[in-house]
Structure 1
């Protein structure tokens, strides 16, 4: 028994050391803001963004500095996982130029074992930004709101049933089509159980059959199994998707403003659509 306990202690000590030396990564922590700023200029929504989607530069990079010397460097790039792509050189260049105090990344990411996994191949720009932050001992957070915080905002606008369907279907459509069509019902059922177990959403839908029934009634002629959200969401889901994006961007902006108020340099990476959409809001809010 003592030998077993000793082996367990050695194992957990090793795991702890791997975390402390940044060989093992956990997901970046969520950031809870302590105050909400008034945003004089609203974030550009996805409807307006469509008018510039094919026109703006990529990567989309800019800096905004406040009078107290706090600043933000916004780096909007494509969500790709090819380490040889030049956009990752841009991220390294601007990181080394500004030497930020805090990094904010898109997405919740997950665990990573650096001896076996490449941060970029696993998590794209968020992986590289996290790697740089760990290298230079900068603070690191995801700029995403917690799911609870997002639902708290969204439930004021939309019925629980519609939100539950959206939060289950959103990751479903992130699965490659050929993969999800192998067993769509089982995959969606698992996502329903994982993604709707929150206050306000719990038990609003419980089965893929609920989704199937509601979808057939609200969107006849379309099939949720092979629908592609890349071409837009049907009906009310498009409004929910737009509101979800806005709530995420606004949360990110409140984090940036709070850190800038403290005189810190913030480095934030994101998909290329977010960067131009928040630009005027940031430039108006940062004094």
Structure 2
């Protein structure tokens, strides 16, 4: 198993293992084998420095963030300091392309670290690009591995848990919010998700798999931890879909960032902190030739 040693988490400049002779011909494709799968991964350490790698012509600054909407969180000062040091030509963000507010603090309150990197890019006139694959591409990849109803339930229940835990929504708010989400999902994914679901359909699908918790809006957050298996949490399949989704996203993120830095851009990206150690060895291999 390919395991990213603890030293790589603390000091990303360390050498990484060989990716094979094919790396010389297509290093980005060949070095993707060094992406760390969730089965081999530990949570990111609390002290996680930014990943800094120079290619022959470009540079990558990759910041692993905690998901926060608190402008006083020290990571936002660190993000701004790194931005001012590196003066990026392109910024990559995680999540959907939402607008930014008039100030940095208000942007953070509304959109967290993803919004903040877009705010900094707008202020500096840098290009902004999405770091993640399209939702349709991700769903297509999941449908190759899991039944349609499980994929639908995973995404709907994960968003339900996020709204409940991060925004403090109760039963009535969740039913209304997820009702709107179902309409959006039916429009966005069409044939991928099959027949359109209502709240009653969601309730029936949930009950086919779970009797505890009794209601779909109570789905616990542990069901969506990719570092745990569904057997450990009682999620039946949710952790496994989340793990597959995260690994698909990691490969896409790695490819996008390595391509941009290899073509000569000064690249700046902010992402959830656990993604960075998973991609670090592959990025070192592709950009710095550390193998």
1:269 aligns with 2:270: yes
Residue deviations 1:149-200 (CA, integer Å, cap 9, x gap): 2122222112222212222222222112552412544433322221243144
- Structure 1 pair 82–157 and aligned structure 2 pair: CA distance change class (3 A): same
- Pairing 1:157-176 to 2, within 5 Å after superposition: 157-176=145-164
How many aligned positions are there? Answer: 248
Selected match of 2:37 from 39, 45, 65: 45
Give 1:10's aligned residue. none
Give 2:118's aligned residue. 130
Q: CA deviation at 1:112?
A: 3.4
Q: CA deviation at 1:42?
A: 4.2
Give 2:20's aligned residue. none
Give 2:204's aligned residue. 213
Q: CA deviation at 1:204?
A: 3.9
* 8 Å CA contact retained: 2:32, 2:251: no
Selected match of 1:195 from 185, 188, 192: 185
Give 1:96's aligned residue. 84
Q: Distance in 2 between matches of 1:44 and 1:165?
A: 27
Give 1:79's aligned residue. 67
Q: CA deviation at 1:105?
A: 0.9
Listed as ranges, the gaps of 5+ residues in structure 2 are: 1-27, 225-229
Give 1:243's aligned residue. 244
Residue deviations 1:206-229 (CA, integer Å, cap 9, x gap): 122223223222223333221222
| Backbone CA RMSD of aligned residues | 2.4
- Name the one with the larger helix percent: 2
Residue deviations 1:60-99 (CA, integer Å, cap 9, x gap): 4121122x23221110011112212221111111111111
* 8 Å CA contact retained: 1:192, 1:207: yes
Q: CA deviation at 1:259?
A: 0.9
Q: Distance in 2 between matches of 1:196 and 1:157?
A: 21
- Structure 1 pair 40–150 and aligned structure 2 pair: CA distance change class (3 A): closer
Structure with bigger gyration radius: 1
Give 2:6's aligned residue. none
Give 2:171's aligned residue. 181
Give the stretch that moved more between structures: 192-201 or 88-97.
192-201
Q: Distance in 1 between matches of 2:162 and 2:242?
A: 14
Q: Distance in 2 between matches of 1:236 and 1:218?
A: 10
Q: CA deviation at 1:235?
A: 1.3
TM-score, normalised on structure 1?
0.77
Q: Distance in 2 between matches of 1:90 and 1:43?
A: 26
TM-score, normalised on structure 2?
0.76
Q: After TM superposition, what 4+ stretches of structure 1 lie above 6 angstroms from structure 2? A: none
Partner SS, residue 91 of structure 2: strand
Q: Distance in 1 between matches of 2:217 and 2:253?
A: 32
